[in-house]
Amino acid sequence: MFIDWFTLIAQIVNFLILIWLLKKFLYGPILEAIDEREKKISGQLIEARAEAEASMKARNEFILKREELEARRESMLQKALDEAENRRRQLLDEARAEADSLRVRLNDALEKERGELRREIVAAVRREVFETARRALADLADDALEERMTQIFIKRLRALGEKEKSAASAMMERSAGAAMVRSAFELSASRRSEIESLFGEVFSLGAKLSFETSPGLICGIELTAGGYRFVWSVSDYLGALEKSVEDFLSVKKDAVAKIDEAVS
């Protein structure tokens, strides 16, 4: 055979030495490095997984918080809008109320002013009308007219009803004062005696009549005794006219107020 025994033994020894050398310089360090690296990588993987979980958790928390904030913001915005709306309505109501009160005051003032003006106009017109009438009647007054007025006075005194006569008599008795006849013009003596006799006849009283001239009566004659007063004069007519004018004006005023109300 080709076996050299020394070589064979030496090669066994060499091989064992080589095993030891390679274990020391090759397999040992290399396997150790690989193990270490795998350990490190798996550690890093675990760390990365933990970090990923933590970041996912943080992300979820952040999303939750953001949603909460969003909701809160929405509700605050809604509240602010509601408050603003309420405030707007309140201000509008206040403004409307103020405008209403101002309008009422304005209307009142206008009404007052209109009333004043109307009254002034009415008074002025009335004054003017009566003054004109008085002046016309005074100008017209002459003996014939005075005579005619006296006749009318006598006629009307004669035409008094029983009821009125007795009431007048009672009043005159109670006062027991003197009776007086006032006229706008000087009565003639015959007319005076005629009135005196008629007075006694009508009221069945023996009182003495006195006579007086008063231009303010305007074409009229007046009999006063105690609390009783019997008169005929143009002034009375004018007074009646004035009253009817007043009534007419008040009716008219009510109508205007109604129209205003309807319009507003």
Partner 1 sequence: MRISPDEVVIWHGGFVTVNMTLVTTWLLMAAMAIAARLITRGVSKGVHVSRWQSGLEIIVLALKDVISGVGLSRPDAYIGFIGTLFLFIAVSNLATVLPFYEPPTGSYSTTAALSLCVFFAVPFFGIRELGLYGYLKTFVQPTFLMLPFHVISQITRTLALATRLFGNIMSGSMVLALLISIAPLVFPIAVIALGLLTGIVQAYIFTILATVFIAAATHEE
Which residues contact partner 1 (rule: CB under 8 A)?
Answer: 1-12, 14-19, 21-23, 25-27, 29-34, 36-37, 40-41
Which CB sits closer to partner 1, 32 or 164? Answer: 32
Rounded CA separation 170/228 (Å): 9
CB of 1 to partner 1, least distance (A): 7
CB of 6 to partner 1, least distance (A): 5
Q: What is the CA radius of gyration of the chain?
A: 65
Residues 6+ away with beta carbon under 8 Å from 171: 225, 226, 227, 228
CB of 45 to partner 1, least distance (A): 12
Which CB sits closer to partner 1, 27 or 248? Answer: 27
CB of 44 to partner 1, least distance (A): 9
Rounded CA separation 215/144 (Å): 17
No. of helices (H) and no. of strands (E), the chain: 6, 4
Which CB sits closer to partner 1, 10 or 50? Answer: 10
How far from each other are the two terminal CA atoms of the chain, in whole angstroms?
145
Which CB sits closer to partner 1, 19 or 104? Answer: 19
CB of 40 to partner 1, least distance (A): 7
Which phi and psi (to 5°) does residue 176 adopt? 50, 20
Which CB sits closer to partner 1, 30 or 240? Answer: 30
CB of 48 to partner 1, least distance (A): 14
Identify whether the C-beta of residue 221 lies closer than 8 Å to the C-beta of residue 153.
yes
Rounded CA separation 97/94 (Å): 5
How far CA 263 is from CA of 109, 111, 189, in Å, comes to 18, 15, 66
Tokens of residue 2, six digits: 């080709």
Which CB sits closer to partner 1, 41 or 56? Answer: 41
